[in-house]
Amino acid sequence: MKAVILAAGQGTRMGPLTRNMPKVMLPIANKPVLLHVLLSAREAGIKEFVLVVGYRADTVKKYFGDGSEMNISIKYAQQKKQLGTADAVRVAQEHVDGRFLVLNGDIIVSMQHIKNLVKHKSDVIMTAMHVENPSEFGVLEVSDDRVLRIIEKPKKPPTNLANAGIYVFPPSIFDAIRRTPLSTRNEYEITDSLQLLIDDGVDVGYVTLSGNWLDIGRPWDLLDANEYLLSCLQPELKGEIEPLATLKGSVSAGEGTVIRNGAYIVGPVIIGRNCDIGPNCYIRPGTSIGDDVRIGNAVEIKNSIIMNGTHIGHLSYVGDSIIGERCNFGAGTKVANLRHDGRTIRVKLKGKLVDSGRRKLGTIMGDDVHTGINSMINAGAVVESGAMISPGKFVK
């Protein structure tokens, strides 16, 4: 069975993080989100993939190529305009034959769930998950193991089974897509196509989600997923560890990396290739550091994602933050990650304040940001790509 992975969107809810790369290429545990999706499907026995790409498609193609390095086959389908999930499935038609699996490039599920899904005998199989707030989701009305109706955000949900957006489809889905009207969001929704199949009498079954579920919708979801995936990694040290550096727990470091004397690192932590760490820095659990990163003297980093090519100057603090590529922190830059009143931290995304639900959250910073010495960045601050922060400035 082939797998179609939907990876065409920009991910505008991720703020500045997707200015230069699609959401599916953002790193978690030093691997793109999309790579984690592919690896999970490969472990389930899937060998042939169709990636539906659109925004910054060249970034995806350059990284994955034809898939031969992963011992899989990858074909690409271009969605020129993001016109909805049904349209994204439609553009993959020429690359599939027979039944096929559909995954989202920003949702990581377990290998076991994919196995459970593909062995189900219904014509169409949906993934359902139990949720506490079904009125905020597309909800399945079911009878025994069959889906009777899909209701978007109902005021009185018939069940607490939400559509998780992972499917197995027969070729007849493409005819249903051609008959699918535009939704109120001016998109072609795959759930509307599914409802047409249900109305046609097609056997639509469902499998309840099993294993872990990592849905990367907002920036702080990256931190949650990063923390979980790091906890599963086996440590691997390939760099140089100077004799007076201290490593505790699961710590990985790539080739060409130097961890200098006085560095104190408590895993789970992953450090990429050709990094310069320390001396006398403190890296705390849940931190991912990309390639070509410099962490200076007396720097403390906690539960954060530091992307490729970034330099964190000495005497700086970064906590519960996502820092883009090629940023440069002047000495003494401090990132706050906790409100004085202890309330959850709100973040402005797409012009609206959104409650992150997190008590601790630092900054969400795009690429190529430079901070001056003694800059201060408040909890929940969003810093756009290319920003230049003056010495001593307080960023709200």
Per-residue confidence (pLDDT) for residue 380, from 0 to 100:
97
Q: What percentage of the chain reaches a pLDDT higher than 90?
A: 89
95-117 pLDDT, tens digit per residue, is 999 999 999 999 999 999 999 99
Per-residue confidence (pLDDT) for residue 382, from 0 to 100:
97
364-380 pLDDT, tens digit per residue, is 999 999 999 999 999 99
Nearest Cα neighbor of 99 from 126, 127, 73, 123 is 123
Per-residue confidence (pLDDT) for residue 193, from 0 to 100:
95
Which pLDDT band, with edges at 50, 70 and 90, does 137 fall under?
A: confident
What are the sequence ranges of the domains in the chain? 2-217, 220-395
Q: How many CA atoms lie within 13 A of 129 on its CB side?
A: 19
Same fold? 2-217, 220-395:
no
146-188 pLDDT, tens digit per residue, is 999 999 888 888 999 999 999 999 999 999 999 999 998 899 9
Per-residue confidence (pLDDT) for residue 161, from 0 to 100:
92
Task: List the single range of 23-27, 154-158, 285-289 with lowest mean pLDDT.
Answer: 154-158
Active site residue 314: yes
Residue 151, C-beta contacts closer than 8 angstroms, at least 6 positions apart: 138, 139, 141, 157, 158
Peptide bond preceding 279 in cis form (omega within 30 of 0): yes
Residue 133 has pLDDT above 90, yes or no: no
- Residue indicated by tokens 């196509």: 193
For the domain with range 220-395, which CATH number is right: 2.160.10.10, 3.40.50.150, 3.30.1490.20, 3.20.20.70?
2.160.10.10
Peptide bond preceding 268 in cis form (omega within 30 of 0): yes
Which pLDDT band, with edges at 50, 70 and 90, does 318 fall under?
A: very high
Per-residue confidence (pLDDT) for residue 145, from 0 to 100:
85
- Please determine, looking at this structure, whether the domain spanning 2-217 carries the CATH number 3.20.20.140: no
Per-residue confidence (pLDDT) for residue 120, from 0 to 100:
86
CA distance 368 to 21: 13
Catalytic one of 113, 314, 340, 370: 314
Which pLDDT band, with edges at 50, 70 and 90, does 211 fall under?
A: confident
CA distance 190 to 180: 8
Where is 215: in which H helix or E strand? strand 213-215
CA distance 1 to 39: 15
Residue 134, C-beta contacts closer than 8 angstroms, at least 6 positions apart: 154, 157, 159, 160, 161, 162
